[in-house]
Structures are given as structure tokens and as C-alpha cells.
């Protein structure tokens, strides 16, 4: 299976990439690591006339410390994010979730920003970014940058706040130093997309949950932040019974998909079980 | 057409390619390196795994133009670029442990196993099984493959001492 023919450019700066986007409009498609796009092109589910490769823009790669936040370049690979010591120290939830993405070969090519911009509801990077209150830096035509909060970034199925003539440059992740973290992913076979997964990070104080942040993967068209459950967890003892009670409403009001892997009720059940496990592990290690 | 320049199995290569050409097609059809196999064509099975700049990637899921300027190692150049010998230690271990039945997944299994051992020279059995999750063996001969990786890891430790 071979993609339909397209023209190709590999700009070396964000400005050049933006100019190409402006020039080619809706005929153009950005390629980051290509691990989701290339299968789509090969199956000819999409056939852009022009492909703009972001792989030569060095400024979009790397992780840096910016005081209260870590800044992850959009073209940083999953493999780099998963093993980066700064991320492990200050945003452990991201390290743990990214290690579950696809398989090693895909993590060596696939990028953190590419996966976030692709916004597959079963992808594993959206929920941790949402739980940690990440901010998304988007390059606009004309050289400006705007910043979008995680709560506004995910708009719908495969749809984000990034405009057609814009591109994602950086993800700013507020530091959660010392917080326990766990990503509980439910799949039935290796290298499967999440049927349901739960991202949880907890600041524990002497056996009590002082603060918790929880987000759900594949329980709707976008990652979902479980803010009501976060409030219920505050001040609870970090025990299985107390957490089970606090998270029992986590699936209320969700509209999870129904497919061959499970119907919506099954996914709601999974969300309750996986949230309990994720929070308990995050709180107690 | 786009001109690309890269190193494949230690040799410099310059070719004109269509931008849509996949790296695996480039290796097989332009360079005749048919040791890298196309299995599923959907980026699931890992039979097409090669090293790009030292890391295992699925060459059916990389455009040849994306590899421009890079260094590619295939199963055909693995031993030669390692120490010039006939077999890389992981190849030798696959042979010794009879880690294949039909052999179709073997080039990809070996290329990913080398990458796995570069990351983690002393993996547990679970780490090997998880580390190879992107490579499917439809003969389901995984036990001997895992043994081969363990054997190669043990041989590597012997070398270091």
C-alpha cells in the first residue's frame, strides 16, 4: 500500500512552515513523526496534495526547565519524553503514560506534539496533559504565538484549537514535583489503543490525599478531566476503600464510545475500576 | 522527485525518489536490500524494522525523504557495521536458540532486539516480552525468541567482564 502522490517540503524554521501552510491551504498536511499519518495515507483515507515535514525544524525538539513549568518541544519523540530526567522528576504522570504509547519502534519516531495535535480520543498523551493543566503554544500566521489551556485545546474527535494555518510549537507542563503518578491503561492485546485508561497524579501528605488530578482516556470524544472526583479525593486517607468511595461517580455524565472492545456501560465500569487503581497507586506508590 | 543522500549499511547512497516512497520500498526496490521484509503493511507487525540513526523504526511507516541525511542499518549490514564479523551476537543467539520457525519475522525481531539491548543490556524476561511488543511472530515462536535475547544479553555481559 503506497500513498497517493504528493509534493513535499521540509522547512527548517517555524516561519517557513507557516508560509507553506498559508500558500497551500487545505491541500497541505503537516507531518510530525508520521506514525498516525502514514497509515492513513497508505490506506488512502486521506490524500493531501502537499506534505510539510516538520522533522527538520530543530527548534521544535527538546525539553527545557522554565522555572515553574517544563517546556516540551512539539517534535520531541515519545522515546525522549519517556526517558527524560526532568519530566520524570517534575511530571512523572507524563513519563508513565508515554511509555504505554503503541510500541518501541513507534515511540522512536512518533512525537509528543504530533500525538496531541492528532487528538485521537484513545491516544495516551491527552489525558496526562489535561490532568497536569498543560498549556499549548501555537504559532500563528504573522509570527505571533498564542497559548491555549488544556481545557480548551481538545475540541472534539481528532479536533483541537489549532487553526488550519497554525502549528503547535511547545507544550508547557506545570511542575508537579514530588507528586505520585500512575497511568492505568486497559487493553486486551499488546500495542493496542486504550479501551479506557486513567491518568492520576496525587500529592500525598502522611497517608492522606492532599491534592489529586485525574483525567480519562477514551471516555468521550476528547480526554476528560474528573474535577468532581478530584474534589472528593481531597483530604481522604489513601486507602482502597476511601478511594473506591470517592471515585464511584467518575463515569457519571460521560458518553463513552461503544465498539467491539466494549459497550458504553462496560467502559463506565472500567473507568471506576481503573480510576481506583490509578489513584491508589499514585498515592501509595 | 526529491534527491536524498543517506548512509545505508555503512555505504553512502544518493538517489532520486518520489516523496511518497516508503523507506522499506526504497531499501528493497531501489537498493535491492530485500532482507528487510514487508509483513502487514499497516505498521503493526514489525517485520520491516530497521535502525534509523541508531534506533529501531518500522520502515514501512517512514518516508524515504524523512531518512534524508540519516544513517540506516538493515539486517544485511548489521554484522558488518558492528564488528565486521559474519553474525552479530544477536543473530548468533537467534541461530543458537533456534529462535525462528518460518523466519519471516526474524529480520525485524533481530533489529528490534539489538535496539532493546542497547537501551537495556540486562533485561528481565518481562522487559524482553514488552520490549518486543511491536514485533509479531505468527508462528507464535516467542519462547525461543525470548531465550535468544536472554542468551545475547548474557553473552554481552561476558564480553564486558
Q: What is the tens place of the pLDDT at every residue in B4-16?
A: 999 999 999 999 9
Closest CA to A185 of A195, A176, A177, A175: A195
Per-residue model confidence (pLDDT) at position A285: 83
Average pLDDT of the segment spanning A47-59: 98
Contact between B22 and A2 using a beta-carbon 8 Å cutoff = yes
* Interchain contact, A39 vs B56, CB within 8 Å: no
Question: For the residues of A125-168, what is the DSSP string, one character each?
Answer: SHHHHHHTT-EEEEEPTTS-EEEEEHHHHEEETTEES--TT-EE
- Which residue of chain B comes nearest to A36, CA vs CA? B61
A208-227 as b/e: b if 16+ CB within 10 A: ebbebbbbbbbbbbbbbbbe
Give contacts of A31 with chain B, Cβ < 8 Å. 63, 66
Q: For the domain B2-79, what is the CATH code?
A: 3.10.20.30
What number is the average pLDDT over the span A215-239?
98
Question: What are the chain B neighbours of A53 within 8 Å (beta carbons)?
Answer: 63, 65-66
List, in order, residues 6 or more apart from B142 with CB less than 8 Å away.
Answer: B129, B132
Mean pLDDT of A199-222: 97
Stretch A173-198: mean pLDDT, rounded? Answer: 96
- What phi, psi does B135 have (nearest 5°)? -125, 120
Task: Flag if A7 and B19 touch (Cβ within 8 Å).
Answer: yes
pLDDT score of A164 more than 90: yes
Task: Report CB contact under 8 Å: B62, A109.
Answer: yes
Please list the residue range(s) of chain B that carry CATH number 1.10.150.120: 87-156
- What's the pLDDT score for residue A97? 98
Q: In this structure, how many other beta carbons lie within 10 angstroms of the beta carbon of residue B8? A: 23
Section A49-75 average pLDDT: 98
CB nearest to B62's CB, from A2, A3, A34: A34
Do A3 and B20 count as a contact with CB atoms less than 8 A apart? yes
Indicate the angle between helix axes B89-96 and B106-119, nearest 10 degrees.
Answer: 120
Q: Is the ipTM of this complex over 0.90?
A: yes
Q: Closest CB to A1: pick one of B41, B62, B115.
A: B41
pLDDT higher than threshold 70 for residue A108? yes
The reply to whether A52 touches chain B by the CB within 8 Å rule is no
The share of chain A scoring above pLDDT 90, in percent, equals 98
Please name the residues between 116 and 175 in chain A that touch chain B, using a CB distance below 8 Å.
none
Distance of CA A1 to the CA centre of its chain: 29
Residue with cell 488544556: A150
* SS3 call for B47: coil
Residues of chain B in contact with residue A51, where contact means CB-CB under 8 angstroms, are 19
Does position B160 have pLDDT exceeding 60, yes or no?
no
Q: What is the pLDDT of residue B157?
A: 76
Is the pLDDT confidence value at A203 over 60?
yes
Closest by Cα among B105, B142, B102 to B125 = B142
Asked if residues A280 and A243 have their Cβ atoms less than 8 Å apart, the reply is yes
Query: Under an 8 A CB cutoff, do B43 and A3 touch?
Result: no
Contact B61, B43 (CB under 8 A): yes
Percent of chain A at pLDDT > 70 equals 100
> Which of B39-48, B77-86, B133-142, B151-160 bottoms out in mean pLDDT, i.e. has the lowest?
B151-160
Which residues of B have a CB under 8 Å from any CB of A?
Answer: 2, 18-22, 25, 41-44, 46, 49, 52, 55-58, 60-63, 65-66, 68, 112, 115-116, 130-131, 133-135
Pull the grid cell for residue B93. Answer: 543467539
What local confidence, expressed as pLDDT, does residue B90 receive?
Answer: 98
Name the nearest CA neighbour of A8 among A39, A41, A35, A45. Answer: A41
- Phi then psi for A106, rounded to 5 degrees? -65, -40
pLDDT digits (tens, 9 = 90+) for B14-59: 999 999 999 999 999 999 999 999 999 888 999 999 999 999 999 9
Contact list, B63 vs chain A (CB under 8 Å): 8, 31, 34, 38, 53
Identify the CATH assignment for B87-156 out of 1.10.150.120, 3.30.930.10, 3.10.310.30, 3.40.47.10: 1.10.150.120
In chain A, the residue whose alpha carbon lies closest to the alpha carbon of B55 is A108
**pLDDT for the residue numbered A190:** 85
- Residue B161, pLDDT > 50, answer no
Mark yes or no for CB contact B63/A38 under 8 Å: yes
Tell me the CATH architecture of domain A58-174: 2-Layer Sandwich (3.30)
Radius of gyration of chain B (CA): 15
Average pLDDT of chain B to the nearest whole number: 95
Average pLDDT over residues B81-85: 92
What is the pTM for the complete model shown?
A: 0.96
- Residue B62 and residue A38: Cβ atoms within 8 Å? yes
Task: Identify the CATH assignment for A180-284 out of 3.30.390.50, 3.10.20.70, 3.30.530.20, 3.30.70.1560.
Answer: 3.30.390.50
User: For chain A, where do the domains classified as CATH 3.30.465.10 start and end?
Assistant: 58-174
**pLDDT tens by residue, A7-30:** 999 999 999 999 999 999 999 999
Q: What percentage of chain B reaches a pLDDT higher than 70?
A: 98
Read out DSSP for B49-97?
A: EEEETTEEEEGGGSBGGGGTT-EEE-TTTHHHHHTSSSS-HHHHHHHHT
**pLDDT-derived band at A31, boundaries 50, 70, 90:** very high
Closest CA to B134 of B54, B55, B23, B29: B55
Q: Where in chain A is the domain with CATH 3.30.43.10?
A: 7-56
Tell me whether residues B65 and A8 touch, CB distance under 8 A: yes
Which SS3 state, helix, strand or coil, does residue A37 take?
helix
- Residue contact A6–B20, C-beta within 8 A: yes
Span A51-78, average pLDDT: 98
Q: Which among B18, B41, B43 is the top mutation candidate for probing chain A, defined by the most A β-carbons within 10 Å of its own β-carbon?
A: B43
CATH number of A7-56: 3.30.43.10
Amino acid at each position: 500500500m503506497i500513498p497517493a502522490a504528493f509534493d513535499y517540503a521540509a522547512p527548517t524554521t517555524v516561519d517557513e512552515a507557516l508560509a507553506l501552510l498559508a500558500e497551500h491551504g487545505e491541500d497541505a498536511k503537516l507531518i510530525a513523526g508520521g506514525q498516525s499519518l502514514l497509515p492513513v495515507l497508505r490506506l488512502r483515507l486521506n490524500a493531501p496534495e502537499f506534505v510539510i515535514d516538520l522533522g527538520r525544524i530543530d527548534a521544535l525538539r527538546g525539553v527545557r526547565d522554565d522555572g515553574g513549568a517544563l517546556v516540551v518541544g512539539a517534535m520531541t519523540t515519545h522515546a525522549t519524553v519517556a526517558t527524560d530526567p526532568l519530566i520524570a522528576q517534575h511530571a512523572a504522570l507524563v513519563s508513565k503514560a508515554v511509555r504505554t504509547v503503541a510500541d518501541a519502534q513507534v515511540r522512536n519516531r512518533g512525537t509528543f506534539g504530533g500525538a496531541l495535535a492528532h487528538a485521537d480520543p484513545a491516544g495516551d498523551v491527552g489525558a496526562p496533559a489535561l490532568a497536569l493543566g498543560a498549556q499549548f503554544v501555537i504559532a500563528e500566521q504573522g509570527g505571533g504565538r498564542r497559548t491555549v489551556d488544556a481545557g480548551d485545546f481538545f475540541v472534539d474527535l481528532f479536533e483541537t484549537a489549532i487553526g488550519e494555518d497554525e502549528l503547535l510549537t511547545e507544550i508547557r507542563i506545570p511542575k508537579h514535583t514530588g507528586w505520585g503518578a500512575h497511568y492505568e491503561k486497559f487493553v486486551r492485546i499488546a500495542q493496542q489503543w486504550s479501551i479506557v485508561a486513567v491518568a492520576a497524579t496525587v500529592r500525598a501528605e502522611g497517608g492522606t490525599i492532599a491534592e489529586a488530578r485525574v483525567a480519562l482516556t477514551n471516555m468521550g470524544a476528547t480526554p476528560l478531566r474528573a474535577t468532581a472526583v478530584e474534589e472528593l479525593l481531597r483530604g481522604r486517607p489513601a486507602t482502597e476503600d476511601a478511594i473506591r468511595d470517592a471515585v464511584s461517580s467518575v463515569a457519571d455524565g460521560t458518553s463513552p464510545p461503544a465498539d467491539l472492545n466494549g459497550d458504553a456501560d462496560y467502559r463506565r465500569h472500567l473507568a471506576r475500576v481503573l480510576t481506583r487503581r490509578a489513584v491508589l497507586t499514585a498515592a501509595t506508590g | 522527485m526529491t534527491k536524498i543522500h543517506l548512509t545505508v549499511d555503512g555505504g553512502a547512497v544518493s538517489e532520486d525518489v518520489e516523496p511518497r516512497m516508503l523507506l522499506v520500498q526504497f531499501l528493497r526496490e531501489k537498493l535491492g536490500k530485500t532482507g528487510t521484509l514487508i509483513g502487514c503493511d499497516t505498521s503493526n507487525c514489525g517485520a520491516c524494522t530497521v535502525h534509523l540513526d541508531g534506533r529501531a523504526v518500522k520502515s514501512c511507516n517512514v518516508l524515504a525523504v524523512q531518512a534524508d541525511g540519516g544513517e540506516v542499518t538493515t539486517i544485511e549490514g548489521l554484522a558488518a557495521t558492528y564488528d565486521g564479523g559474519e553474525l552479530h551476537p544477536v543473530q548468533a543467539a537467534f541461530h543458537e536458540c533456534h529462535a525462528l520457525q518460518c523466519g519471516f519475522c526474524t529480520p525485524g525481531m533481530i533489529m528490534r532486539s539489538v535496539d532493546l539491548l542497547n537501551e537495556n543490556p540486562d533485561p528481565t524476561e518481562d522487559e524482553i516480552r514488552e520490549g518486543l511488543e511491536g514485533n509479531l511472530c505468527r508462528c507464535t515462536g516467542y519462547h525461543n525468541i525470548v531465550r535468544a535475547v536472554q542468551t545475547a544479553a548474557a553473552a554481552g555481559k561476558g564480553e564486558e567482564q
